[in-house]
């Protein structure tokens, strides 16, 4: 599911991939459902391609979002509870205890909280890629 959810640099929010052509893709905002073109010169990244640094191997963003979803029983987070650096680091330490505190910045944690809230409010809560069976 996260492979089709995109973040576009310079544009607020998250977008769902609708279709793509030669040098353009059509995306739909998760919050407002408005469609718009995104051109090849935009910096576009799929949430499925993002991973969080840890002391060991990188953890896919989907796993982190799923952990937050389970821990907070599928409810959106209140960003007001995570204003200070200590609050952000404590929150993320509860979610991913071995995250790399030198390479994961507070702005990254804020972005994860923001993305989580957008996804939950849009009803996109299947964060983990479903494993395909051999029959498929």
Phi, psi torsion values for 4, nearest 5 degrees = -95, 5
Enter the DSSP assignment of 75.
P
pLDDT digits (tens, 9 = 90+) for 99-109: 999 999 999 99
Question: In the structure, what pLDDT confidence band is assigned to residue 70 with cuts at 50, 70 and 90?
Answer: very high
Q: How deeply is 46 buried, as exposed, middle or buried, from its count of CB atoms within 10 A (0-12, 13-18, 19+)?
A: middle
Q: Are 64 and 95 in contact (CB under 8 A)?
A: yes
Q: Are 128 and 63 in contact (CB under 8 A)?
A: yes
Length of the chain: 136
Phi, psi torsion values for 29, nearest 5 degrees = -65, 135
Question: In the structure, what pLDDT confidence band is assigned to residue 134 with cuts at 50, 70 and 90?
Answer: very low
Q: What would the mean pLDDT of 71-82 be, rounded to a whole number?
A: 91
Phi, psi torsion values for 9, nearest 5 degrees = -60, 135
Q: Which two tokens stand for residue 48?
A: 């499925």
Residue 132: is its pLDDT beyond 60? no
Residue 133: is its pLDDT beyond 80? no
pLDDT at 131: 46
Q: What would the mean pLDDT of 33-46 be, rounded to a whole number?
A: 92
Q: What would the mean pLDDT of 64-78 be, rounded to a whole number?
A: 93
pLDDT at 130: 57
Q: What would the mean pLDDT of 105-115 be, rounded to a whole number?
A: 95
Query: Can you tell me the distance from the alpha carbon of 44 to that of 7, in angstroms, rounded to the nearest whole number?
Result: 6
> Model pTM?
0.88
């Amino acid at each position: 599911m996260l492979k089709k959810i995109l973040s576009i640099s310079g544009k607020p929010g998250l977008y769902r991939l609708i279709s793509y052509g030669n040098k353009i893709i059509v995306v739909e905002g998760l919050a407002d459902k408005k469609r718009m073109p995104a051109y090849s010169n935009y910096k576009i990244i799929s949430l499925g391609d993002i991973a969080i640094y840890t002391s060991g191997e990188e953890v896919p963003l989907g796993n982190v979002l799923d952990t937050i979803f389970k821990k907070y029983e599928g409810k959106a987070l209140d960003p007001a509870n995570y204003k200070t650096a200590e609050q952000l680091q404590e929150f993320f330490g509860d979610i991913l205890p071995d995250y790399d505190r030198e390479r994961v910045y507070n702005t990254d944690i804020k972005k994860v909280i923001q993305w989580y809230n957008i996804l939950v409010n849009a009803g996109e809560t299947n964060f983990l890629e479903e494993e395909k069976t051999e029959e498929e």
